Structure 1
């Protein structure tokens, strides 16, 4: 029942399933991609109701989001379609069943020219520019000549997601951090426009061979032209900065090139693999350095450029001594420059009359007849491949692409190899026929290096080993590693002296389990098609405070009944039992902001407790409460005295903070890592733990009785180097 490759009309709306665009009366609607994905899924399964869990698993695959977020997406989609939830015309909901598209549809296939050649033959008539390479790139000024120089490159630059984004995280400069945020917006807003390649299916892969497996956490990689050496920026310990390593793929011998405090970013082999160019990122700027590989002295390198805003990609030209670099001139724009490593001069290799274009990388065909680069624009939400005639600089083709491109190289003069976040495919730029070679659904494949028209190398990340670390507050050195096992998918835990409670996401919804530590047995307490989150266990250990899709309730273990505290229109993300369990303190989101309410379980009544605060914990005879910005305040028991503690926690990710006796514990994201901070409120002493990685769920799990807390961590992952051989082309 799939509708991919069709234009579907329903009411005043038209959905272009190929370009993933929605139109109303012929006018494009500016919708975020998730709304289109949900609409497409409902369209493809319009013969039945689609449950909330199915939508979550299909559209948000691999991401942890609440069912409330899924419901909000449905609500936004209804608003865009001007659909009334009480008298629906397009999307009907049914309790316990889910959602169904009920609109009457009219489908039509694409016309013969819907994927027609969108290229134009036009010469680029923009000025090149030259500056001294040793100057700041922001000083670039136009030269007198209006004729673009000839451009060439030998292999494809590095992926934007693994080269640009982690690189920018490493700089402490405020401007680069701002660029990181803009870059993230750019990546997640990319959608396809106008033309798109036609998919074809063919079994072209003859063999896949694992050459080597590398243990480390990597930022950037480069492969020598002969496929013998792999260079990568990596850290072999979670506490060190990323350094430069060279791996001999034939002998597995590894050599560490740098040992400094700077983070090593983009890298590239140059001068016949006798040297390597790399970027060193420090607190104030980015430098471009060259290190000789045919010498034994380590850390011997010289600076060829400095004071750059940031450099994201490096690529050697066919002419030795010249290097291409994708350089950010400011927080919105990157341009590819051709650098003369002997004279220090630079010249633009990509041209734009806009101030918000991001040119990601450049690649040249093996015989040098064509060159191409990938360009994105923040405001227009597109990503395009530009193909030029190398001798005349005439534009031969502009190809819009979906989804995000991770790497790009030419196999021959007409076919290119494109790795994106969904697949690895071969594209014929003349016919726009696309042949999928490998699926990349979980973005396990990251880099490619073409060795010949029928053979290339590709890197594949292996999932890291994940485990739980339990920390004793009486002795921070007393840590126990526990395998996550069946709890690996859980997003909610709670502890008691002899019990553990957790939520497991399963095929038909969510399940609440109780685990008896003494008998090592599990008991199912509750099944629900709504997302369950555990907040607290009452002092008598008879009731669990939890939420179902943000609706607060008390689950009584003896009777297995739920007493709801809030209704479906109220959103609660944090709650705790008060004192001996006679009441509940919870944060409630309002249009005007957050507030803390108190629910009296005996009187069955809710009253306003604190206005302007988002989260609260009881502390001795007082309270510690957080405002929406995460600032913590000590509030007296009578609520009359408020003292700023000078501590700020983060609500950006999973809210995770608590009190165990006089210890205040919270987690926050710093750079690539999640840092856990423990503050002794009596002494003011602070302890930080940083062996939890930001890509993991930063939620903390607290055992107030045993004075321990737990968090999830992982070991450094492995990367496989694969050699892929294609079947010979038929004449």
Structure 2
């Protein structure tokens, strides 16, 4: 849903728009937080922060100061009230229509019929747009995806990177099928496509050379990423830089004889922007990050080469920051913080930037720091700007069908016993206390929901909802308990009694957490001043006891804990005597992998974006633990999994295969 505010196009999440409509429908009185809960979240357990976040989003869009409100007034113990004047305008009156793309315009009745909130029927019946008058005029109008988006002819399969030269030449990287590796393809005329590199592992970013005779590309291999060039004529590959732990993006700057890339040499250091001099072959840092939680992921250079746009991700706050630097002195001259995930960024001109997010494609105006949603499509990710045609060429994801495979241990065999087809919006699945039910996390319209799904009756019961990101950690197979992160906050949910306990505050960074067998304790790790700390929390009492230092991951195994350092070394802690035993095994765990304990076995996944490996460490004999492994294609099986402890099974998510197409989007 989108509105036009002061002739600027602004996207609104459906729930935020629903709150605005509810306030409008009850504009003569104050609306309490609990009333908004009951009417807009349909009885699902949500925190007050979810409502406050919606109000905050509205105030941000309307430039409304809560201390001197012009639109939304809040009063303690009473709630919120819409205080601005509201007027009605017939559809035929042309109010600020020029602010919209002509291809997005449809009748007010059609636009408003897309609103899920039932009270919108009053407005639909009148076929009106809402106008808020107070000094300047703002119009609430829906924006649809432009109809003149063109599909560019390209090879089938999955695509991961794209580049367009100044003279219109096109190159992209992808895989034709699950069996094939990734290649770089060159299409000089848009019809004839030639593979120019067949031995790349995961070519995640491309950029043409100044003379357009070579392509620079990143080959992403965790622990051994490289910066390379490949000749378009003879397909010769030269390695420019190697042995980087990770490189995420690059851009060629013709006027500087340099490549700018975001990367890090070591896993313990943050990702920062660097400059590679193509003449001297020297590398120098451009940006600095004070800690590992702040990482520079994307980079783009303005047409004059005087400015650099950098996308920085704050993993602690779970937010993105588009920063503009003066290339001559590397000083920051502009910044905009965003709550939505940012996938890519490019320049249109010296004063405008395009970026793609989880909402779609946006244009950011540097002069007034305003942004507009150009295309509302969450499937748009990596893209490039076509200067010749003033358009964007984007990689559009085709939706794949998700299936969940229940597989019996050991992983060396992994026999499938059942296949589940859940809602496409399901992102995680966990065990529950009922034999044939699962706890699932669903992401829908930028709202995360925790539901209990009855597999036999094929119906679900909502348990909790939040506008913040929800990350499941553990579902108890014996008790009605689910452990999860809401943003950074660790939450203990008793879904039988509809009660929650917030174990940590939102300003504490939690690394991992697990439940004791009876659900009486929660063991979690948190980042202290200098290292990770393992803490035992007694549920319901608020009592916290520090157990160990230097361990980031924790799981329960009977009366013992399996603990893992950030570097991957695995240990076994006996809770009876606090004896710590080195298992002499290393597990490379990350935010995109998972691990757990089933019986006497530790199960974990690792991946390199091409293959996914599942490991099982059997600790039945601690003196001689047995390690087994199996491997799948990353395109077919995802590294995040769940376990069914009572049934001794692992649940793997398998997609029908990643597929994408190239789209041309006029600006």
Q: Is the contact between residue 200 and residue 433 of structure 1 (CA under 8 Å) also seen in structure 2?
A: no
| Counterpart residue number, 2:556 | 616
1:184-333 to 2 correspondence within 5 Å? 205=146, 207-212=148-153, 219-232=160-173, 244-246=184-186, 250-251=190-191, 253-255=193-195, 257-259=197-199, 264-270=203-209, 272-280=211-219, 288-295=227-234, 298=235, 300-303=236-239, 313-316=249-252, 322-326=257-261
Q: Which residue of 1 aligns with 2:37?
A: 51
2:299: which partner in 1?
Answer: 360
SS at match of 1:294: coil
Cα distance, 1:222 vs structure 2: 1.8
Structure-1 separation of matches of 2:451 and 2:271: 48
SS in 2 for 1:50: helix
Aligned with residue 714 of structure 1, among 639, 652, 655? 655
Find the partner of 2:388 among 418, 443, 452: 452
CA contact (8 A) 1:466 1:713 kept: yes
Identify if the C-alpha distance between structure 1 residues 255 and 221 changes in structure 2 by more than 3 Å, giving closer, same or farther.
Answer: same
Deviation (angstroms), 1:724:
3.1
Alignment of 1:471-550 (within 5 A): 471-473=407-409, 476-480=412-416, 484-486=420-422, 489=426, 491-494=428-431, 500-503=436-439, 512-515=452-455, 521-522=456-457, 528=463, 535-537=475-477, 545-547=480-482
Q: In the TM superposition, what is the alpha-carbon distance from 1:664 to its structure 2 partner? A: 0.5
**What is the CA distance between 1:712 and its match in structure 2?**
1.6
* Aligned CA-pair RMSD: 6.4
1:374 paired with 2:320, answer: no
2:302 and 2:229 mapped to 1: Cα distance?
21
Q: How does 1:563-574 map to 2 (within 5 A)?
A: 568=501, 574=514
| Among 402, 409, 412, the residue aligned to 1:466 | 402
The answer as to whether partners of 1:326 and 1:336 remain within 8 angstroms in 2 is yes
1:407 corresponding residue in structure 2: 345
Question: Structure 1's 718 and 499: CA in aligned 2 closer, same or farther, altered over 3 A?
Answer: same
Which residue in the other structure is 1:102 paired with? 79
> Within 5 Å, which residues of 2 pair with 1:29-44?
none
Residue 452 of structure 1 aligns to a residue whose secondary structure is coil
Residues 462 and 294 of structure 1: CA distance in aligned 2, closer, same or farther (over 3 Å): same
Cα separation, partners in 2 of 1:214 and 1:700, compared to 1, 3 Å: farther
Give the distance between the partners of 2:81 and 2:537, measured in 1 at CA.
46
Aligned-partner Cα distance in 2 for 1:381–1:204: 24
Asked if the contact 1:700–1:711 (Cα under 8 Å) also holds between the matched residues in 2, the reply is yes
Residue in structure 2 matched with residue 383 of structure 1 by the alignment:
322
Residues 545, 575 of structure 1: 8 Å contact kept:
no
Q: Which runs of 5+ in 2 are unaligned?
A: 56-65, 67-73, 87-138, 467-471, 485-490, 505-511, 527-532, 549-553
CA 719–615 in structure 1, closer or farther in 2 if over 3 Å, else same: closer
State the alpha-carbon separation in 2 of the partners of residues 457 and 406 from structure 1.
12
TM-superposition CA deviations, 1:626-663 (whole Å, max 9, x none): 45969653749xx4584626267769689752324xx5
Question: Which range moves more in the overlay, 479-488 or 378-387?
Answer: 378-387
Q: Secondary structure at the match of 1:51?
A: helix
Contact 1:500 1:514 in 2 (8 A): yes
Give the secondary structure class of the aligned counterpart of 1:712. Answer: strand
Contact 2:390 2:666 in 1 (8 A): yes
Structure 2 counterparts to residues 716-731 of structure 1, below 5 A: 716-725=657-666
SS in 2 for 1:480: strand
Secondary structure of the 2:422 match is: helix
Describe the shift of the 1:287–1:480 C-alpha distance in structure 2 as closer, same or farther (beyond 3 A): closer
Specify whether residues 514 and 344 from structure 1 end up closer, same or farther in structure 2 by C-alpha distance, changes over 3 A only: closer
Separation in structure 1 between the aligned mates of residue 324 and residue 387 of structure 2, nearest angstrom = 22
Give the direction of change, closer, same or farther, for the CA distance of 1:524–1:338 in structure 2 (3 Å limit): closer
Tell me what 2:98 maps to. none
Q: Is the 8 A contact 1:279 1:311 kept in 2?
A: yes
- Alignment CA distance shift 1:644-1:423 (3 Å): same
Gaps of 5+ in 1: 7-17, 21-33, 58-65, 82-88, 93-100, 110-197, 516-520, 539-543, 556-561, 578-583, 600-605, 727-731
Q: What's the CA shift string for 1:126-150, capped at 9, x where partnerless?
A: xxxxxxxxxxxxxxxxxxxxxxxxx
Deviations 1:418-451 (A, max 9, x none): 54554434567778886643124x3523202315
Partner of 2:110: none
TM-score, length basis structure 1: 0.53
| Residue of structure 2 aligned with 1:666, choices 603, 624, 629 | 603
- SS of residue paired to 1:666: strand
Q: Is contact 1:267-1:314 (8 Å) kept? A: yes
- The normalised TM-score by structure 2 is 0.57
Counterpart among 510, 518, 522 of residue 588 in structure 1: 522
Equivalenced residue count is 529
Larger Rg: 1 or 2?
1
Question: Cα distance, 1:362 vs. partner?
Answer: 0.9
Change (3 A) 1:490 1:643: same
CA distance in 2, matches of 1:352, 1:505: 37
3-state secondary structure, aligned to 1:667 = strand
CA contact (8 A) 1:677 1:687 kept: yes
